[in-house]
Amino acid sequence: MKRFIFSILVLFTGMNVAVAAGDIEAGKGKVAVCAGCHGANGISASDTYPNLAGQHADYIVKQLKAFKNGTDRSNALMSPMAAGLSEQDMMDIGAYYNSLPRTPVESAAGGDATASSAPAAKYEPDPVAGKSLYELGDASRGIGACIGCHGKDGNSDVLIYPNLAKQHPEYIQKQLHNFKAMENRANYAMNKFAGQMTDEEILDIGAYLADTQALANVKPKKVIAVAITAEVLAGEKKAATCVACHGQGGNKPIADYPRLAGQSAQYLVKQLTEFKSGVRANAVMAGMAAALSEQDMTELAAYFAAQKPLAGNGKGSEVGSKIYYGGKVNHVNQAITACVACHGATGKGMAKAGFPSLANQSAEYITSQLKQFKSGARANDKASMMRNIAMKLSDNDIDELAQFVATLK
């Protein structure tokens, strides 16, 4: 059929959706100029531009109208493209792209960082976390479940809402960042939802939507996020001087410095207090902490605790795993306590007891701290617990432990 009727009157959230009709063959003759960015078959070769193949025609018409009027969506390239299109042109183009088969996106999340405004840090996107946020949302932050509008597995049943499955993850991320920043995309619900998402969550959603079928049988888990409090926001402003060593968000991958992202706030306050007092000796940090008030420390700690850490760089170690979970008896018959007792099965620590998270740290940093505890150069552990354990470890034990601990996340 040349004539493709692609929309009926739909009642959704109290609004009527207009009936639209387009001619597939006519649309095919009108998309030559579109192919440069969106591909001859509606599958873009560039992650900067969206795939249009199989997209809802109503959604395409809606977006072309928005580009043309410039009120709800602004784009220096698309606005002049849409300016000369009649409503029938838009319907024909929508019908044509809707008729094309969607094919899987071969690239996973990542790609060229310049194609989106996603963070430059090498965070490894988690598609399972993306699916969880997509299907369940997070009511505590006012993030609605994407599935309500965009459908199960990213296949929308509502014609004015786009299919998201098999889309370039970079394009998804770019648009979510635009909604978050309220730049070029004006939609009350999307501005609100994206505005509460972290940069890492945006990457996770992009990774999930790149291949939703790969996780079809994976059950989503409730999203648990750290609340963005006034202290976190204040701490973000004060953390500017920390960036040089610890990186944006406390995630700089320099072996000599610890990752602060995701560390418990109580532990961070303790360390800053002890750097300032000299209980923990460090020439650089003593100077940094000298001018900090208790409130400064509280706010900085809240900010870093709220950040999502990147993965560590450990290669893994069976010997290290055995020591971590079971302890050992060393060559002089001294018992070495299992690390799991204080730092937990996944290395997340016990914040209320004052035991830090070890997960996501670098092997080099873990090694340096164990050696400092062993030599006594670091002596701010409660009741000498770490010194008493580290002094019983051989250098090889330390190396193996560090390689294992740096795999925890």
In degrees, rounded to 5, the angle at the alpha carbon of residue 396 between the alpha carbons of residues 392 and 400 is 105
Three-state DSSP class for residue 182: coil
Highest mean pLDDT among 84-88, 110-114, 230-234, 271-275: 271-275
pLDDT for residue 326? 92
Instruction: Render pLDDT for 378-396 as a digit per residue (tens, 0 to 9).
Output: 999 988 999 999 999 999 9
Strands 328-329 and 10-12: what pairing?
unpaired
CA 373 centroid distance within chain: 34
Q: Evaluate if residue 105 carries a pLDDT over 70.
A: no
Give yes or no for a contact between 90 and 192, defined as CB atoms under 8 angstroms apart. no
The CA distance from 91 to 5, in Å, is 10
Q: What is the pLDDT of residue 44?
A: 83
Closest Cα partner for 323 from 389, 409, 255, 377? 389
State mean pLDDT over 121-127. Answer: 75
Q: Among residues of the chain, what percentage have pLDDT more than 90? A: 49
Q: How far apart are CA 105 and CA 50, in angstroms?
A: 11
Q: Per-residue pLDDT for 112 more than 70? A: no
For residues 196-218, average pLDDT: 91
Amino acid at 21: A
Residue 12 and residue 369: Cα distance in Å, rounded? 58
The alpha carbon dihedral of 104, 109, 112, 117 has a sign of positive
pLDDT at 123: 73
pLDDT higher than threshold 50 for residue 17: no
Q: What's the whole-number mean pLDDT along residues 249-268? A: 89
Which helix or strand (DSSP H or E) is residue 11 part of?
strand 10-12
Angle CA 46–51–55, to nearest 5:
175
SS3 5: strand
- Average pLDDT score over residue span 189-206: 90
Helix or strand run (H / E) with residue 328: strand 328-329
Weakest-pLDDT range from 99-108, 143-152, 225-234, 372-381: 99-108
Tell me 19's DSSP state: P
pLDDT digits (tens, 9 = 90+) for 301-353: 999 999 988 889 999 999 999 999 999 999 889 999 999 989 988 899 988 88
Tokens (6 digits) for 313: 């760089």
Confidence of residue 286 (pLDDT cuts 50, 70, 90): very high
Domains 113-215 and 230-305 share a fold: yes
- 53: tokens are 């193949």
The crossing angle, in degrees rounded to 10, of helices 363-375 and 395-405 is 140
- Of 104 and 298, the structure prediction assigns the larger pLDDT to 298
20 pLDDT higher than 80: no
Question: Does the pLDDT of residue 99 top 50, yes or no?
Answer: yes
CATH no. for 318-405: 1.10.760.10
The superfamily CATH assigns to domain 113-215 is Cytochrome c-like domain (1.10.760.10)
State the residue for tokens 């309220």: 182
Q: Is the pLDDT of residue 255 over 60?
A: yes
Domain locations along the chain = 3-99, 113-215, 230-305, 318-405
Return all residues near 90 (Cβ < 8 A) that are at least 6 apart.
22, 60, 61, 64, 65, 82
Contact 407, 314 (CB under 8 A): yes
Residue 242 CB neighbours (<10 A)? 20
The helix (H) or strand (E) run that includes residue 15 is strand 15-17
More confident residue, 313 or 114: 313
Flag whether pLDDT at 248 surpasses 80: yes
Q: Decide which of 176 and 20 is more confident.
A: 176
Please, which pLDDT band fits residue 358 given cuts at 50, 70 and 90? Answer: very high
Give the Cα separation of 48 and 36 in Å (integer). Answer: 12
Going by CATH, does the domain composed of 3-99 fall within 1.10.760.10?
yes
Q: Which residues, in sequence order, are bridge partners of residue 73?
A: 185
The alpha helices in 147-282, defined as continuous H runs, are 147-150, 169-181, 188-195, 199-210, 230-238, 243-246, 265-277
Q: Which residue has the tokens 């996973």?
A: 108
**Cα separation of 316 and 341, whole Å?**
20
Q: How many other CB atoms sit within 10 Å of the CB of residue 390? A: 22
Other Cβ atoms closer than 10 A to 214 = 14
Token duo for residue 231: 């202290």
Angular region, 13: left φ>0, alpha ψ -120 to 50, beta rest: left
Concatenating the DSSP letter of every residue in 37-86 gives HH-TTS--SSTTS---TT--HHHHHHHHHHHHH-SSB--TTHHHHHHT--
Q: Which fold has domain 230-305?
A: Cytochrome Bc1 Complex; Chain D, domain 2 (1.10.760)
Which of 40-49, 109-118, 337-346, 399-408 is least confident? 109-118
Q: What is the mean pLDDT of the chain?
A: 85
Q: pTM higher than 0.85, yes or no?
A: no
Look up residue 175 and give its two tokens: 């648009």
